[in-house]
Amino acid sequence: MRGHGAEVQTVAWHKSKGLIASGARDNIVKLWDPRGARLLQNLYSHKNTVTEVRWNANGNWLATAGRDSQIYIHDM
C-alpha cells in the first residue's frame, strides 16, 4: 500500500474490523482497508512525525502520538 510521502514509523491492526492505521514522517495518520489495499481516510492532527498509533481494547478509539509532543484520541 503506497500513500505516505515519507518513511512509515508505526502501524496498528484493528482486530475486529480488519483495518490498518499507519503513521509516518509526513505527519499524517492513514486508515487503510488491506483487503483492497485502499486508503479510507487521512488524519492531519500532528505537526511533526507520527511515532505511535494504537487502537484501544474495543477498537472505538485510535490513539496517536508524535514528535510534536502531542497525543490525540480519535473517536472512530
CA dihedral 11, 55, 73, 51 (to 10 degrees): -20
Task: Give the bridge partners for 10, in sequence order.
Answer: 23
Name the residue among 14, 73, 11 with its Cα closest to residue 1.
Answer: 11
pLDDT tens for 26-36 read: 999 999 999 98
pLDDT tens for 2-25 read: 789 899 999 999 988 899 999 999
- Joined together, the cell numbers standing for residue 4 give 505516505
pLDDT tens for 46-72 read: 999 999 999 998 889 999 999 999 999
Name the residue among 56, 39, 61 with its Cα closest to residue 22.
Answer: 39
